[in-house]
Amino acid sequence: MAGNTRVGVLALQGDVREHAALLAGLGADVVLVRRPDDLASVDGLVIPGGESSVIDKLSRIFGMQEPIRERIAAGLPVYGTCAGLILLANTVLDGIEGQQSFGGMDIEVRRNAFGRQTESFETDLDVPALGEPTVRATFIRAPIVERVGAGVDALASLPDGTVVAVQQGNLIGTSFHPEVDGETRFHARFLALAEAFARTRSMRAAPVP
């Protein structure tokens, strides 16, 4: 499906291996991104679940925060799950003191909105953009999207209307973990964006006859 499209998984903390394995299974060339040079080589980036505050701090320690922000601003496709969704939000409503995000999505998110890890749960979600069947979604200390900006599409909501999956252009975010359940369609959607981005970048780099 993905050909030789090179995509990265931000490998500072979190469930990196699960994302890398799923993307490789879809045919992508997967890079573990820890340094700015790693980031420069990819046409898409996954920000995994984990601890958003820890990923934020490590991104600054390893000089990754600004390069990621710059590439997001330049249109790099990014898919964030759970903590990754928090890091893509322009506004984090209840971050710890000094916590920052990469931003890019005009959303407000609330961390750990469902409580402790012992209150994790699974459910089936209708995601019209992905078609049938429903998506089996695992929520682990998950965030929720409390405000969706005008340019953001809500891809999925819980029965009470709580938004748990969003897309804004080349950026996708889910409160849940598709990689835990072997659900590939969100990653395939992300890879399609990365393939298109790679083609555009190749066209720009091609010499003028």
Residue 179 a catalytic site member? yes
What single letter denotes the amino acid at residue 202?
Answer: S
Distances from the Cα of 22 to the Cα of 32, 151, 197, 204, angstroms: 13, 29, 20, 30
Residue 8, φ and ψ in degrees, nearest 5: -115, 155
Catalytic residue list contains 82: yes
Rounded to the nearest angstrom, the gap between the alpha carbon of residue 109 and the centroid of all alpha carbons in its chain is: 14
Of 18, 51, 70, 82, which one is the catalytic site residue?
A: 82
What DSSP string runs through 65-125? HHHHHHHHHTT--EEEETHHHHHHEEEETTPPTT------EEEEEETTTT-SGGG-EEEEE
Catalytic residue among 18, 177, 187, 195: 177
Catalytic residue among 18, 179, 183, 195: 179
Q: Say if residues 45 and 8 touch (Cβ distance below 8 Å).
A: yes
Active site residues: 82, 177, 179
